[in-house]
């Protein structure tokens, strides 16, 4: 009898844990990146960085926390095909990585999604010819109306979901955000 109670308790705990994990995945699917507010270039310790602000939005009814969240950021660059030509595969320009130590994206209230303007610093690499070429390509893509791009943010880390009595965290969650500006002027370079 005691063995059946223990087995039943383990099954209940497994089901509760699965519900929490599925609930967290549902909350994370409500996150999005909708805007890059600005870009500034900065040199630190011999490396070149882009300081920028990303606008995260949260459509779920729970606050979501990103903790120790590392993102690799890249651009998928496509050219407008000439008449009669087929669309070519996009080229990928890896920009660099950034880490969000801890940030809370507030929950949606009614029809208004929660927003967080998150400052990031993308490490482009050491200040050398390769990094300079990356910067020139970035400027050429943003300024060329014959090209369009999608910004990809591949991240992984801890995601927390706010509950009545605190936070529930899941380690090792990976996400891929894609941001495609409707007009390239959505990128403000200073």
- Is the separation of the CB atoms in 172 and 156 below 8 Å? yes
148, two tokens = 């369009």
Block residue for tokens 């050398």 = 128
Tell me the whole-structure pTM to 2 decimals: 0.76
Per-residue pLDDT of the chain (190 residues; tens, 9 = 90+): 555 545 555 544 544 444 444 345 566 677 888 888 888 999 999 999 999 898 999 998 999 999 999 999 999 988 777 788 887 888 899 999 999 999 999 999 999 999 999 999 999 999 999 999 999 888 888 777 677 788 899 999 998 888 888 988 888 888 888 887 765 444 444 4
Q: What is the b/e burial string over 22-52, where b = at least 16 CB atoms within 10 angstroms of the residue's CB?
A: ebbeebbebbebebbeebeeeeeeebbbbbb
Domain limits, the chain:
2-186
């Amino acid at each position: 009898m005691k063995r059946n109670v223990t087995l039943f308790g383990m099954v209940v705990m497994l089901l509760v844990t699965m519900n929490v994990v599925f609930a967290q995945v549902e909350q994370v699917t409500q996150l999005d990146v909708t805007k890059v507010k600005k870009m500034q270039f900065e040199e630190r310790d011999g490396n070149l960085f882009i300081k920028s602000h990303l606008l995260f939005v949260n459509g779920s009814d729970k606050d979501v926390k990103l903790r120790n969240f590392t993102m690799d950021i890249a651009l998928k660059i496509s050219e407008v095909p000439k008449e009669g030509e087929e669309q070519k595969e996009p080229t990928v320009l890896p920009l660099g990585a950034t880490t969000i130590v801890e940030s809370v994206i507030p929950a949606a209230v009614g029809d208004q999604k929660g927003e967080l303007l998150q400052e990031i610093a993308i490490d482009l690499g050491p200040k050398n010819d390769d990094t300079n070429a990356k910067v020139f390509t970035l400027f050429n893509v943003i300024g060329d109306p014959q090209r369009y791009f999608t910004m990809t943010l591949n991240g992984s880390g801890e995601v927390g979901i706010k509950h009545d009595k605190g936070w529930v965290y899941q380690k090792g969650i990976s996400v891929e955000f894609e941001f495609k500006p409707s007009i390239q002027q959505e990128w403000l370079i200073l």
